[in-house]
Amino acid sequence: MCTSQAPENVVVCDVALADVREQVGTLPGVTLTHLPYEGTRVESSGEVPVSVFRAALGAAIAPHGGSLPD
């Protein structure tokens, strides 16, 4: 469901996109970029702590059967 490219840069499958937009996309400094045939890159510029970013992202994808790799 997710590919973690860095702690603050994760590609998520579009099945969870609505929840990701709602729960993570509203955090300061977070951008969402559609990647054709891959999903959506969710990236934090560092305005919020990485732990906050990853907790919100994990909560957004969990209802869809996803989890973030450690």
Residue 19 in any domain: the answer is yes
Which pLDDT does position 3 carry in this prediction?
A: 85
How many structural domains compose the chain? Answer: 1
Residue 70 in any domain: the answer is no
Going by pLDDT thresholds of 50, 70 and 90, the confidence category of residue 4 is: confident
Q: pLDDT of 36-60, one tens digit each?
A: 999 999 999 999 999 999 999 999 9
CATH number reported for the structural domain that contains residue 48 in this entry: 3.30.70
Residue 56 in any domain: the answer is yes
Say how far apart CA 50 and CA 55 lie, in whole Å. Answer: 8
Domain extent, residue 13, equals 2-64
Residue 42 in any domain: the answer is yes
Strand runs labelled E in the chain: 2-6, 9-12, 30-35, 39-44
